[in-house]
Amino acid sequence: MSVKELTLSCPVRTKMKYALSLRRNCGLAVILLAIVLLALWGSAAMAITLNSPAFKQNGHIPSKYTCEGEDVSPPLAWDGIPNGTRTVLVIDDPDAPDPKAPKMVWVHWVVYNMPPDTKSLPENAGKAGLPPATVLGDFKKKEYGGPCPPIGRHRYFHKLYALDETLDLRSATKAQVEQAMQGHVLANAELIGAHQKGDRSGWHQH
């Protein structure tokens, strides 16, 4: 029997089922491909950066911005924030009190509801002037508290979040801000600096 004869002898219903199944599978493949492309595009669109002219990623935070110096907030700048979003900045230390035996995360600054057009904070932002409608969180005091590690070299995480809404909070704690942010974070970035008391060098961690 030839291939042509075999093809003609196949039931028409079987051919129709195969054609429908093929169309269905192709349709699903197209949908899945579209989802993957959208996810990849979304990830690229939501990539943001956070940096400081005062120190590099994993670098030494100058004493000026710590309790050993002027204890003022460092200059920060970011890029890639989605249009129309509010930003939140949290600075904390997960190495307290001793990096070799950490017991708590010490909060150094909480700033939220920064307007959509905010792209940076100047040095000593609390006194230099925060953007309009910006709210300072309440952890120990309503202002920046620089690194002041009792022992060892601590890491200080500067975390920026882009939200799709304004947080309806007044002088909230870090925990309250993080809880309110759930489900509203569109993008985030992180800058880590390090400091140890008595270290006034230009040390840089690799």
Q: What is the pLDDT of residues 134-159, one digit of tens each?
A: 999 976 667 899 999 999 999 999 99
Cα dihedral sign for 102, 103, 109, 115?
positive
For the cut 60, the answer to whether the pLDDT of residue 162 exceeds it is yes
Give the pLDDT score at 17: 54
- Per-residue burial over 9-26, b if 16 or more Cβ lie within 10 Å, else e, is eeeeeeeeeeeeeeeeee
Q: Report pLDDT for 114.
A: 97
Is the pTM higher than 0.85? The answer reads no
Dihedral of alpha carbons 32, 33, 38, 41, sign: positive
Percent of the chain residues past pLDDT 90, beyond the cut: 67
**Would the pLDDT of 190 be above 70?**
yes
- d(C-alpha 97, C-alpha 157), whole Å: 15
**pLDDT score for 132:** 93
Least confident range from 21-25, 94-98, 130-134, 164-168: namely 21-25
Is the peptide bond prior to 97 cis by the omega test (within 30 degrees of 0)? yes
Share of the chain above pLDDT 70, in %: 73
pLDDT digits (tens, 9 = 90+) for 29-76: 657 665 644 444 444 446 799 999 999 999 999 999 999 999 999 999
- Torsion angle of the four alpha carbons 73, 77, 82, 86, in this order, in degrees rounded to the nearest 10: 20
